[in-house]
Structures are given as structure tokens and as C-alpha cells.
Amino acid sequence: MSVLASPTTTLHPERKAARSMTALDLWQMPRVGAPQPAPDGKAIIVPVTRWDLAKNEAKTQLHVVPTDGSAASHALTSSDVSAAEPRYSPDGKQLAFTRKDANGKAQLMLMPLDGGEARKLTDLPLGVFDPQWLPDGSGIVFGGMLIKGHLSPQATADEIARRAKDPVKAHVTEERFYRYWDTWLTTGEVAHLFAFSLASGELRDLMPASELWFEFMDPSGQYDIAPDGNEIVFCGHLFDSSKSLLVSHLFTLPITGGEPALLTTMSRGSESAPRYTPDGKYVIYGRTYDPEFYADRTRLARYDRVAKAHSDWLEDWDLSPVAWFPLADGSVVLEAEQDGRTRLFRWNGAREPQAITTDGTVSALTVTTEGRAYFTWQTLSAAAEAYVCGADGAGFARLTRFTEETSARFSCGEVRDMRFTGARGETVQMYVILPPGFDSAKKYPLVHVIHGGPHGISGDLFHARWNGQLFAAPGYVVAMVNFQGSTSWGQDFAQRIQGEWAARPFEDIMLATDHLIAQGFVDEMRMAAAGGSYGGYMAAWIAGHTDRFRCIIDHAGVHDLTGQYASDVTQGRGKASGGEAWDGLEKQDAWSPVRFASGMNTPMLVLHGERDFRVPAWHGLMLYGVLKAKGVPARLVYFPDENHWVLKAQNSLLWYREVHGWLGRWLEA
């Protein structure tokens, strides 16, 4: 439906300091993790990560922060080792957490909070994750990885030692799904849930025969313990060979251990993140229906444990929650994207969920059963800190100030929220960051920063890798267009580019360019486009279809859609590109940027990581080779030790030097 473009609004004002932001500032900024509240609400414990640039490594410390501001925060753990995932005991007297051992594996630790040293409870060969206390405080449940065919800690340790000595390192498989992100799945690691008894010191494997996977990127948050402590519900991933699809289902497990029992039996689609209600009567969980569309909207369902029946619960909401916490009064606090932001919502089971936060990005959410929400909050102008509010949004307050000292060193440009009429009459939103010291009488170079996915957003957040303020710092206007195909505007907006991956996004970005030029402060002779992943795909598409831009930056971009059968996840590829290699190759060719190399004349910086299994590294090498063979100015930056993202500090500093150097070379000449 056509919607008129709405006016521009200033979202975040300019913040002035003595100088502009640098990449070094980004890596000197402490990174604040998920806050964990004490049972009495008087304090939170926050993981804070700091980078040692000389050693090119990070360490995470746990800090105690009083919630009433009565005292300064103090570190609980040493700066010499990394600690994470703090969990207060139910009585608030002890803290369970994970700490990396000499092999870099996280092990379970227990610390008395009235004084005393932490003691190590586990020594598992592949480490542990996501500790949770039993409700009565008698023990701790946690996850740990074992190897298929070697499903005990000792057998897994023996197998790791055998493989280290084996001169043959080949991977052999007949599976469709055999690697993920930067990890080979042929090595056989699977997640098990364990329980540690504080009284006896006994460690028990609760699912000794299981070969189910947990979530691959981050397995935490995929199980819950019933309020009476007698049962666990978890989300397990498996490959359905009959349908050639990766799916996930819910399973239950008695706290005494045994064979997991299947709780959900959807023929297609997947379930996720089960949560018991505080009274123990229900399990609330998310489910999607289309396994070939990774951005399929998440709906909430409810399982009645007495009636043993599933029912739709929050089915018709057009937004897609990513986290949910049932409250004692029967309502639920949700985290979901909306309008290019990530907000908190409350739903009472009747009318549509109501937003309880506004701008910015909420993440790392924890909600007490009484309705106090603890989370991190950030914007395009402010790094993440810990915050709190009530279930109705009241009492929204900042609890930590770890990033304040670093942030005070540099200026941040004004951030505007702009709406314009995009492809086929739709209203499209973009964030525009003005350079520090912006003068409306001048004209500035324009840099498009194009998000990946494509089903994601350029959000109102202080991005750790593609930081909008850092792109604007040299004196550029930065546009971050949430083109059609982006999430947070409902299912139809996200999926309408299926089968024609480039059409509407390209037109939206070109119309955004026209809209910004019409504002009078963009120099149309000095414009650039930069993007990663799908954003890199779009950068290459732009190169083949217009000469409007002086230079282009393409990071980890897809350049040949047929080549994405070498990606880690291949289900849904045909639907996204409009056809399969054996039935619709002409459509894949029609939307592959490399097929339009004849139009590629714009100087391009190509960046890629060797360990990128999502967009295999040959995509970048192929594009660079085509450009050089054609005689187009091009530069290659290739990271042998990075995956789809550039995660190491020194590599990131080089990345920004190359990116800023390329922009300066062509925009400031």
C-alpha cells in the first residue's frame, strides 16, 4: 500500500568534543554485556569486555553495580582471565559463572559473595555454557559439548587427543548441512545438559545418549528449568533428511536425566526459546512456519502442561519477537524490532502488544517474574550500557557508565530519521548521520552504508563493526537505508524481495540518494556505496548498474547466486533467488552481480575473510579478479584468520584504515 513520505526528524543531536571519532576509540570502548539482577534487586552483575590492543586479545571481567547508585561498581573477577555468564543463586549468597581455562575453554565456577575465592566445578574438554540454578539452590544445570560416538567427557577428551596426533585432517560427509559460519560440523560436537550437585559434588550428564544440536551461533538461552525444579524444556536442532531441511523442536527432560521426550511435532517450521510461566502451568515458545525463509515471522505458542495441548498464543502480531519473559500476572515482556529500532513490549493476552521503550536498541534482556526488566540499551550515538525499567516502561534508568570516559573524547554527528517514497510507492526509512560540525550551507560527500541480511536492519545502535559515526567522522554524510526486504516493518515488507533480490533494494537506495541530494547538503559528484554480506552483494550490483558513485566498498559480498550452494546453509537459496540451479538457473543469473561485469567501471575495495563459510571467500577473489582483468581500479584486503566478520582488534583497525583510505582517495581528490 502506498504511503506518503513523512518528514525528517532529529533523532539524536550532535555531541561535540575536541576531535572526531577514530577506530582506536571503538576498540578502546568497554563493551557492556547482559546485566544479571540480584534476587533482592539491590545490585546487578555486568560482564565488561576490554581489549588489550598490544596483545590483540580481549578479557571480560564481572562487575557488581548497586542499582540505587549508592556506591561505585567494583570488579568481582580478575582482569587476567575472562569470566562470563554470571548467575546469582536463589538466595543471593553465591554466584555461578564461567571462566576460561588455560586451553581457552569456559569452565563452571562458584564464588561466595560474602568473601572468599571462586572454585572451579568442572573440567570438561570442550567447556560449558549457560549455567542456571535449580530453584531450590541445591545445584546448577549447564550445557557442555561432547563428540558423537564419544559421549562422555573422558571419551571426548581421548578423541580430541587422538585427532591432534592423526596426520589426516580430511572432512568426510554425506550430509547437506555439514558446516556453519566458520566451523565444520563433521567433527561431531553436540550439546548435552549437565547437573552439578552442590551437596555431593556429583556431575551428571542428564542426556547421555543425545545427538541433538543446540543453536550453533550461541547455544545459550535455549533451555529452561520448571519452577518446581523437576523438569527441563529445551530446543534441539536436527536435520530432517526426509525433507532435506534443518529444523528445531522442543524436548522435555526430567531433572533426573534420561531420554529427551519430543514436545512439539510440527511437520514444517521450527520452535525456539521455551520459557515456563512462573506458576509452571505453561511453556511459552516461539515458532516459525517457513523453513526456507530465515526471516519468517516468529509467533508465540503456549503448551498447557496439564492438558498436554498446544495452542496459538500471539499469532497475529505482524512483528517478530526475539525474546519473551512470562510474568507472574500472566502477561509477558517481549523484545522485538519495530520501525528500525529494537524495543520492549508488554502483552497482556488481549490487545496488541504495547511498546514500553521508544528509540534505540534493547538487547541482552532479563526480566524478573515480578516485572523488572534489565537490559542493555544503545543508540547510533551512544554505546551499550545496562538499564532497567518496569514492565510498563516506568522508571527507565541507566545503571552503568563504563563507556562514558571513552565516549567523551570524540564528537558524534547529528542523527536524523528520514522517510521517503521508495520503489513502487512504498515509504522507506533511513538513518542519516551528519558529520560533526555540520554546516547546512556546505555540501558533503555521501557514503551509503548498506546492511546485510538482506532480512535485517540498519538499527539505532552503536555497531561494533560497521559503526555509522565512525563512517561519518572524516566529514561524510552517512545514509543507512532500511530498504524493502528489511525486517521490523512486518512480514510482507521483509519477504517481498524474494525471487528478485536486487530490484526494490537497488531502487530504494537510488531514490534515497535523490532525496538526499534534494536536501542541498550532498555533493552528488562525491558519493560512495559500502556494504557487507548482502550489503556487499548490493554494492557489486550498484557497480554493475550505475556510474553515479566515485567508489565502492564490498565486504564479504555475494557475487554469484549459484555459487551460494557452497554456503553453509543452502535451504531457501532457490526461493531467495527465484529458482534453483537445476530449475531456474536463468533467474539466478538475472540476479547475480557478476553477470553485469560489463557495467562495472567504479573503483572498488574488496574485503573478505578466508574462514567465511556463509559467503565463501572465492566470491571476493572472483570479483577482484574480474575488476583487475577489466582494468578497473581495485584493491583487495584478505584476512586469512577472519570469518564473515572482522572480529580481531588489530584486523579491524587495518580494516578501517583501508576503508577510510579508499574513501579519502576517491571522495576527497
127 DSSP 8-state letter: -
Amino acid 244: pLDDT = 86
Amino acid 267: pLDDT = 63
What integer is the mean pLDDT of 363-386? Answer: 96
Three cell numbers at 619?
A: 566470491
Q: Give the other-Cβ count within 10 Å of 201's Cβ.
A: 8
What integer is the mean pLDDT of 507-527? Answer: 98
Amino acid 2: pLDDT = 33
Contact 207, 192 (CB under 8 A): yes
Amino acid 71: pLDDT = 73
Q: What is the domain count for the chain? A: 1
- Inform me whether the pLDDT recorded for 5 exceeds 60: no
| Residue 452 included in any domain | yes
Q: Can you tell me which residue has the cell 548482502?
A: 534
- Inform me whether the pLDDT recorded for 4 exceeds 60: no
- Inform me whether the pLDDT recorded for 9 exceeds 70: yes
pLDDT digits (tens, 9 = 90+) for 420-438: 999 999 999 999 999 999 9
| Residue 291 included in any domain | no
Amino acid 268: pLDDT = 67
Amino acid 3: pLDDT = 38
Helix (H) or strand (E) holding 160: helix 153-165
The sign of the CA dihedral 394, 399, 403, 407 is: positive
Amino acid 217: pLDDT = 84
- Inform me whether the pLDDT recorded for 239 exceeds 90: no
- Inform me whether the pLDDT recorded for 565 exceeds 80: yes
Amino acid 495: pLDDT = 95
User: How far apart, in whole angstroms, are the C-alpha atoms of residue 660 and residue 444?
Assistant: 15
Confidence band for 563, pLDDT divided at 50, 70 and 90: very high
Indicate the pairing of strand 372-379 with strand 397-398.
Answer: unpaired
What integer is the mean pLDDT of 168-195? Answer: 96
pLDDT digits (tens, 9 = 90+) for 590-643: 999 999 999 999 999 999 999 999 999 999 999 999 999 999 999 999 999 999
| Residue 286 included in any domain | no
User: How far apart, in whole angstroms, are the C-alpha atoms of residue 387 and residue 398?
Assistant: 4
484 DSSP 8-state letter: B
Rg over alpha carbons for the chain, rounded to the nearest Å, is 25
Amino acid 7: pLDDT = 81
| Residue 558 included in any domain | yes
* Size of the chain, expressed as the number of residues it contains: 669
Identify the weakest region by mean pLDDT among 68-82, 172-186, 439-453, 498-512. 68-82
Q: Which domain holds residue 473?
A: 411-667
What integer is the mean pLDDT of 444-465? Answer: 97
- Inform me whether the pLDDT recorded for 6 exceeds 60: no
User: How far apart, in whole angstroms, are the C-alpha atoms of residue 80 and residue 77?
Assistant: 9
What integer is the mean pLDDT of 56-74? Answer: 92
Share of the chain above pLDDT 90, in %: 93
| Residue 440 included in any domain | yes
Residue scoring higher pLDDT (269 or 322): 322
Amino acid 604: pLDDT = 98
What integer is the mean pLDDT of 7-24? Answer: 96
pLDDT digits (tens, 9 = 90+) for 242-263: 778 888 999 999 999 999 999 9
Q: Give the other-Cβ count within 10 Å of 641's Cβ.
A: 11
- Inform me whether the pLDDT recorded for 669 exceeds 70: no
| Residue 263 included in any domain | no
pLDDT digits (tens, 9 = 90+) for 316-372: 999 999 999 999 999 999 999 999 999 999 999 888 999 999 999 999 999 998 899
What integer is the mean pLDDT of 70-96? Answer: 94
| Residue 478 included in any domain | yes
| Residue 343 included in any domain | no
Q: What is the CATH number of the domain that holds 659?
A: 3.40.50.1820
Alpha carbons within 13 angstroms on the beta-carbon side of residue 195 total 24
Amino acid 438: pLDDT = 98
